[in-house]
Structure 1
Amino acid sequence: MASDDKAMLRAARDLTKGLGEARPGIYWADMLVSAGIGYAGIAVAIVSGSLGVKLAAGLIAALAMYRALLFIHELTHIHRDALPGFRIVWNLLVGIPLLTPSFMYEGVHTIHHKRTQYGTIEDPEYLPLALMKPWSLPLFVLIALLAPVALLVRAAVLVPLGALIPAVRRFTWQRFSSLSINPDFRRKPPEGDFARLVRWQEFGVFIWAYALIASVFVVGWQPLAIAFAVLSLTAVLNQLRTLVAHLWENEGEPMTVTAQFLDSVNVPPPGIAAELWAPVGLRYHALHHLMPSMPYHDLPEAHRRLARELGTGSTYEGANHPGMLVLVARIAKSTMGAGGLRQP
């Protein structure tokens, strides 16, 4: 395991002074425009009579909704007072309509960033995918196709049942109320102000779920099917990004900060494709693990400063990778080796 590179950690602290303040104009404009394009694309895909237009609009909608949805990641890291109203508006425009309110990530993702829990059995967002059997990778990605239907069942069936039956409520909260990939993760009950936040968000997704179901009897099943197809593509994009966000080579032992950094992935410029499949700063995922509170719009400049200062052959450069296909090939090759015998 890599020992901590103190020079890199010092540079990350010293070279990023002047960065780190969330800029409301960027957050609001980016989120609102992304959501607007996404919903417009879904509408065009629903009403158009041309298959080509439907497919093009659906692809644009999936990418735009994907970008809008990923602001859930920023919500887990920015200070609650940094962007007044942003969390509420995001939930009303994106989180609740996509049946993925912010509580499903808040309080969960921060565990993934705890130094002693990253990559262990307690990490909700980690699996040693590189050490599993080869068939686990396509299964990991394709299961995301079911996400919209699974979220609808959760909101329309499990949430109201949980309101009546404590055992169902406990089961739903522990197993189906977090955006996690670790099947052994069990979420702890919410407390205090967060519990109140959860209640109103759960009520919102419950109402919206039944509005979606009712829409089938008003406008037919095709609009909902098209919207769910778009959101299935969004979910697959997110799962592909998750697949290459880390190298997934840890078997459950606690890791140093530098080892966590090197197990994470940056896909920096000059390539532009990463802006589509890893938007909202997530192409700098390794850097994000060094500086989790850095706003997404400051990550490119932070990366430029560190890359310029630390240079070729540095530990920092070791987390930089050329693109998704190279990373998928690396992980797939690893699963075919001697370590790829582990069950998912």
Structure 2
Amino acid sequence: MNMEQPLSPPRQAQAATPRATRADYMAADDKAMLRAARDLTKGLGEAKPGIYWPDMLASALAGYGGIALAILTDSLAVAIIAGLVASLALYRALMFIHELTHIHRDALPGFRLGWNLMVGIPLLTPSFMYEGVHTIHHKRTQYGTVEDPEYLPLALMKPWSLPLFVIVALLAPIALLVRFALLVPLGAVIPAVRKFTWERFSSLSINPDFRRKPPTGDFAKRVRWQETGASLWAIAVIAGSFAIGWRPLVIALAIVSFTALLNQLRTLVAHLWENEGEAMTVTAQFLDSVNVPPPGLAAEIWAPVGLRYHALHHLMPSMPYHDLPEAHRRLARELGTGSTYEGANHPGMLTLVGRIAKSTMIRR
């Protein structure tokens, strides 16, 4: 198809027509936008090892180097700066777990194993905690419903729920340490503990009513070695702290806690959280999700590895993170001002937090 031919009404006509809202698209999709997403992104979509590997490895090494410097230095200022750098770098490294859930299993040979050994197991967040869970969030009939592990109608909840939602993330590293060092060994000998741990504490979800089903087939095998590795690492970390002192562990936990806090803030603004539980069209899901496109640079820090294009990702879940900027440019250029596509673009985190907080106040 000629990329210069419009796939939707001219920009001038779109701008003159009031933009439809998510509510308008609850029953029917914007088919012109969906066709454009399909046709304009031809030639994109191949995961490139030359981008994935250096990005992930550099982020992980910078993160661990920052932790080491924060532990070894005698300067409080250096420790704070090193800790901040480490937290941001590890945050970026961790976000590749999102890519692992979407890329084809044959696309990046060895990357899943390498990521788990370098990032997932050391940070007690192996890929099984997201694989098989996040894909439910993308299912047409389950997004935004009670079956969605990654959805809560936060914009419709009480005002106090927002700060609680964010602050509780600070406890995540401690909870993971307890899960792998204590609950996994106990579960090996007590089936009830194993069942409870798997159903309640084996997924990176925010829906407290979500219960995970038992793993099967090849996935069950991956779960076993990842969980065993993370459990042995967690036990070694605690045992080592008895030998060398608790200061290194406390510093590392503080750094990773800040990483978890930052990720929770990103999660808070990844969607508008305005759905009350009904099934939604793809377009409605798109408009309930958030893009924070350039020119702002801050979103590259708090929404790394393509997550600043989260709404676009919901249109094309398998698109590699490094192709999302180009896909966005093509769609924005073709569909223009006033289009449905522009309706998912937002200026930044503060604006989004303010919008969600205002909604909770209005509905109180």
Aligned residue identity for 2:104? H
Q: Which residue of 2 aligns with 1:285?
A: 310
Aligned residue identity for 1:183? P
2-structure distance, mates of 1:156, 1:212: 9
Aligned residue identity for 2:208? P
Q: Which residue of 2 aligns with 1:115?
A: 140
Q: Residue 167 of structure 1: CA displacement?
A: 1.0
TM-score between both structures, scaled by the size of structure 2 = 0.93
Which residue of 295, 301, 306 maps to 1:276?
A: 301
Which residue of 223, 226, 229 maps to 2:254?
A: 229
Q: Which residue of 1 aligns with 2:47?
A: 22
Q: Residue 219 of structure 1: CA displacement?
A: 1.8
Q: Which residue of 2 aligns with 1:204?
A: 229
Q: Which residue of 2 aligns with 1:70?
A: 95
Which residue of 205, 210, 217 maps to 2:242?
A: 217
Aligned residue identity for 1:304? R
C-alpha offsets along residues 72-101 of structure 1, whole Å, 9 cap, x if unaligned?
Answer: 000000001100000001001100000000
2-structure distance, mates of 1:218, 1:273: 41
Moved more, 180-189 or 210-219: 210-219
Instruction: Name the SS for the 1:22 alignment partner.
Output: coil
Q: Residue 218 of structure 1: CA displacement?
A: 2.3
Which residue of 326, 331, 335 maps to 1:306?
A: 331
Q: Which residue of 1 aligns with 2:218?
A: 193
Q: Residue 143 of structure 1: CA displacement?
A: 0.2
Instruction: Name the SS for the 1:77 alignment partner.
Output: coil
Report how many residues are paired: 339
Q: Which residue of 1 aligns with 2:154?
A: 129
C-alpha offsets along residues 126-161 of structure 1, whole Å, 9 cap, x if unaligned?
Answer: 000000000000000000000110000000111111
Which residue of 18, 24, 37 maps to 2:62?
A: 37
**Structure 1 unmatched runs, 5+:** none
2-structure distance, mates of 1:140, 1:212: 28
2-structure distance, mates of 1:166, 1:222: 35
2-structure distance, mates of 1:29, 1:205: 24
Instruction: Name the SS for the 1:64 alignment partner.
Output: helix
Instruction: Name the SS for the 2:362 alignment partner.
Output: coil
Residue 265 in structure 1 maps to residue 290 in structure 2: yes
Which residue of 176, 188, 204 maps to 1:163?
A: 188
Aligned residue identity for 1:230? I
Larger radius of gyration: 2
Aligned residue identity for 2:47? A
1-structure distance, mates of 2:169, 2:53: 28
1-structure distance, mates of 2:265, 2:322: 22
Task: Supply the RMSD in Å over aligned alpha carbons.
Answer: 0.5
**Structure 2 unmatched runs, 5+:** 1-22
Which residue of 44, 57, 60 maps to 2:85?
A: 60
Residue 98 in structure 1 maps to residue 123 in structure 2: yes
Aligned residue identity for 1:180? S
Identity between Structure 1 and Structure 2 (%) = 82
Aligned residue identity for 1:251? E
Instruction: Name the SS for the 2:290 alignment partner.
Output: coil
2-structure distance, mates of 1:158, 1:48: 34
